[in-house]
Homo-oligomer: A and B are copies of this chain.
């Protein structure tokens, strides 16, 4: 359990380093005979690609996933599906001179200690955000399988710095909202939020700084009864996957941290019958009770810290020479990775949900 994870019958093995030859993923034990629409898959992955409008890095990442096993005649074979994504445009030199200076907020130092200096640190190595391309690939595959089972998932930028989008309506979230937001350049519900967020990102860029944000993610159509108690609940599994996305520092389901300030009589979601189905009027539970789906929309939010790579000089240490120093990070970096992280969070949810359905 490190870059490989077993989730019910499915397992995932993510590999690669930022500046090595390639990254990729093996997904084992997917259901057989599932059609995968490659165009849709690439669209999903494209949502993670750098934005060309200044809200993200200008690196030209080409993330074409070369599927080398487990896929035949347009369908999953049911056997281990491996996709390899070549690395290119690596500009290793950008990183050359900082190799033993710990970039604050990065895993340079912890990775160095963990691996006794043997890990490939160029560009963040295995800790790079680039690795999320593998997660997104797996999530795109799972998303298509979920749709065939009547489940639609989606995510939007809930906030960047202190600029907030309209939140999902937890009890009435619908497919239209989830689909609409996917098509937007900045995935927000409220177009005013788009403007404010661009501005705050642009300002961060100009001041050689960065901003973080919160992504809200949801699923509709998940039938009641999915999940397991104790360690195998939806919350356990979703969070285990979401924390695989670099920069995530928190996760909350339904009312989340706000529930801690509610009274029980406010927070409890009363049940009622509508069209012969059990529903709840509110959805503070985020669709999950006892780790198990209750048939209402599943809702959670993930908090992203601001991009640690900033161009300003920062105090730090040289962890090889064990002495204080100052670092100036060169290269091109996202002043805000939140927009590109939206499909990553959605991917984590897709994988978690699909893992319970096969």
**A90 contacts the other chain (Cβ, under 8 Å)?**
no
Identify which of A47-55, A70-78, A191-199 touches chain B. Answer: A70-78
Which of A81, A212, A307 counts the most chain B CB atoms within 10 A?
Answer: A212
Interface residues of A in 192-242 (CB under 8 A from B): 204, 207, 209-214, 224-233, 235-237, 239-241
Identify which of A148-156, A165-173, A315-323 touches chain B. Answer: A315-323
Residues of B within 8 A of A42 (CB): none
Tell me the bound Cα distance from A36 to B158 in angstroms. 47
* Smallest beta-carbon distance A302→chain B, Å: 9
Per-position binary interface string of chain A over residues 259-279, scored 1 when its CB falls under 8 Å from any chain B CB and 0 otherwise: 111111111111111001010
Per-position binary interface string of chain A over residues 97-141, scored 1 when its CB falls under 8 Å from any chain B CB and 0 otherwise: 000001011110111011111111000011100010000000000
Which single member of B16, B249, B314 contacts A253 (CB below 8 Å)?
A: B249
Residues of B within 8 A of A278 (CB): 102, 109, 317, 319, 322
- Take A8-B9, A235-B248, A239-B239 as given contacts and tell me if A14 and B80 are in contact as well, using a CB distance cutoff of 8 Å: yes
* Smallest beta-carbon distance A238→chain B, Å: 9
Q: Which chain B residue lies CB-closest to A306?
A: B264
- The answer on a CB contact under 8 Å between B211 and A263 is yes
Identify which of A56-64, A177-185, A290-298 touches chain B. Answer: A290-298
- Take A105-B264, A212-B261, A250-B250 as given contacts and tell me if A4 and B229 are in contact as well, using a CB distance cutoff of 8 Å: no
- Take A13-B80, A32-B119, A249-B254 as given contacts and tell me if A69 and B20 are in contact as well, using a CB distance cutoff of 8 Å: yes
Tell me the bound Cα distance from A224 to B108 in angstroms. 12
Number of copies: 4
**A331 contacts the other chain (Cβ, under 8 Å)?**
no
- Take A118-B76, A233-B244 as given contacts and tell me if A13 and B33 are in contact as well, using a CB distance cutoff of 8 Å: no
- The answer on a CB contact under 8 Å between B228 and A4 is no
Residues of B within 8 A of A113 (CB): 224-225, 292
**A82 contacts the other chain (Cβ, under 8 Å)?**
yes
- The answer on a CB contact under 8 Å between A77 and B4 is no
* Smallest beta-carbon distance A177→chain B, Å: 22
Residues of B within 8 A of A5 (CB): 230-232
Which single member of B22, B239, B272 contacts A317 (CB below 8 Å)?
A: B272
Tell me the bound Cα distance from A250 to B264 in angstroms. 17
Tell me the bound Cα distance from A120 to B310 in angstroms. 48
Q: Can you list 6 contacts pairing A with B, beta carbon distance less than 8 Å?
A: A1-B6, A13-B28, A24-B69, A78-B118, A110-B289, A114-B226
Binding site for B on A (CB under 8 A): 1-9, 11-17, 20-24, 26, 28-29, 32-33, 66, 68-70, 72, 75-82, 84, 102, 104-107, 109-111, 113-120, 125-127, 131, 159, 161-162, 204, 207, 209-214, 224-233, 235-237, 239-241, 243-244, 246, 248-257, 259-273, 276, 278, 280, 284-286, 288-294, 303-310, 312, 314-317, 319, 322-324
